Structure 1
Amino acid sequence: MIKTVIFDMDGVIVDTEPVHYFAYHKHFDHLGIDVTDEMYATLTGNSTKNVYQKLKETFGLTEEVEALVQRKRNFFNDAFDEKEDLDLLEGVRKLIVDLYDNGIQLILASSASKVTINRVFNRFKLHQYFTHIVSGEDFPKSKPDPAIFIKAAELSGHAKNECIIIEDSTNGVKAAKGAGIYCVGYTSIHSQGQHLEEADVIINHFDELNSDKIKQITL
């Protein structure tokens, strides 16, 4: 029986991608580099640190990665605070509360920084539902490397076959499968250009899931 649900954050719980897109491209303009939408799509699911490590190599940027990350984070924080219409994705709060009320453990495993995760969790009062938060900034490699999900499963205290992962990105699904954990692919209207075919099941709305259906998943 499934005892733990591991959530990604961006594109699954909240759509901060437009805010990230704005912040990144404002910084790209500041740096004078041309990051195409095709290249940007390949960066989805990576930690900010690993994004800038790749951009530093690709474009020969001279600034240190940490300085680049902080500058982008400043752009993001300013935009996040000003975006009044930012909300949780439709149906996800109902699912989170249902799982919590029915004794299913919730863990967050997101490539986002701890600062960004806390901004989201504080704004939408989500801390009470999750036993653990795992941030991609604590790992040398981003998704599709499975390390973040392996760690989340270890923190759950349950076997991998008692856990599932909800992901919306190509890299996230690959990481979930690389960790050997059942993956629900969520087709988000906000996650364009992502390929979820490797997921065990694909949903288009969170009303397709509830605690009873999740408990009945057989691996």
Structure 2
Amino acid sequence: MIKSVIFDMDGLLIDSERLEMSSWRQAFREMGLPFSEQLIASCRGTGREDIRRRFEAYLAGKPVGFDDLLGRKNQFARQVTAREGVHPKMGALTLLSWLRDKGYAIALATSTDEEIAAQKLRSIGFYEYFDLCVYGSMVALYKPAPDIFLHAIGLLGCRPQECLVLEDSPNGIRAAHAAGAKPMMIPDLTQPDDELKELLWAQGTTLLDAIPLLEDDRAGEEGAL
């Protein structure tokens, strides 16, 4: 029976990936570089150092460094967020409230820096729903390595198979599967291919789709007693 639910943040709880994509596109344009959507997609869900390695390989031989490109991207994203605020994904608050009412342990596992993540979640009233939060700085290896989920599972005190992991990115799904948890994908900008579908416990359209699956899981456990 599932006892804990672990959430990713960007692209899952917060509608941020489209802003990230637009901000990268703007930075590439201003720096006079050809935009690579594939590069951005490959970085989705992973951590800063992994992103740096991928970008430095792409930028090899080009007159622009990763830090300059990242700085311009972040500046543009901050300007938009300051004007328009942070937007939660459909069903996020309903699911968090339902999980709390039903007594599930709720955790966050995000590669985003702690200060940035906490600020975003507090701005939309989500932060207090989490029993614990694990950030990228707390683990040695980023997604698709399982470290961040293994750390969260250890803190929760559950077995991996008792944890539902909600993710929007392929890197996050691979990490959750490698950790032995139950991965459920709520795709945002990236749809799962056939290889990734083999790793999924479930797939939904919005976070609301997790509720009937958890209800079925609870009913199955009660019926076995």
Structure 2 residue aligned with 1:13: 13
Deviations 1:130-151 (A, max 9, x none): 0111122444432111111111
**1:192 alignment partner AA:** T
Change (3 A) 1:65 1:142: farther
Matched residue pairs, number?
215
Structure 2 residue aligned with 1:201: 202
- TM-score, length-normalised on structure 2? 0.83
Does the aligned pair in 2 maintain the 1:23–1:79 contact within 8 Å?
Answer: no
**1:173 alignment partner AA:** I
RMSD: 2.5
* TM superposition shift of 1:171: 1.1
What's the secondary structure of 2:75's corresponding residue? helix
* TM superposition shift of 1:178: 0.9
**2:94 alignment partner AA:** K
Change (3 A) 1:77 1:194: farther
Deviations 1:63-95 (A, max 9, x none): 8866765554333222222224x4211112101
Does the aligned pair in 1 maintain the 2:5–2:105 contact within 8 Å?
Answer: yes
**2:189 alignment partner AA:** S
Structure (1/2) with the larger helix percentage: 2
Task: Provide the rounded CA distance (Å) in 2 between the counterparts of 1:192 and 1:3.
Answer: 28
**2:168 alignment partner AA:** D
**2:43 alignment partner AA:** L
Structure 2 residue aligned with 1:142: 142
2:189 counterpart (182, 188, 191): 191
What's the secondary structure of 2:52's corresponding residue? helix
Aligned residue runs from structure 1 range 59-208, under 5 A: 59-60=59-60, 69=70, 71-84=72-85, 86-187=86-187, 190-195=188-193, 196-197=196-197, 198-208=199-209
Structure 2 residue aligned with 1:212: 215
Change (3 A) 1:165 1:13: same
Q: Which moved more, 1:147-156 or 1:111-120?
A: 111-120
Q: Which moved more, 1:5-14 or 1:202-211?
A: 202-211
Q: Tell me the percent identity.
A: 24
- TM-score, length-normalised on structure 1? 0.85
Change (3 A) 1:94 1:78: same
Task: Provide the rounded CA distance (Å) in 2 between the counterparts of 1:22 and 1:5.
Answer: 30
Change (3 A) 1:26 1:119: farther
Does the aligned pair in 2 maintain the 1:49–1:69 contact within 8 Å?
Answer: no
What's the secondary structure of 1:14's corresponding residue? coil
* TM superposition shift of 1:100: 0.9
Change (3 A) 1:214 1:102: same
**2:35 alignment partner AA:** V
What's the secondary structure of 1:55's corresponding residue? helix
Task: Provide the rounded CA distance (Å) in 2 between the counterparts of 1:27 and 1:161.
Answer: 41
Change (3 A) 1:34 1:194: farther
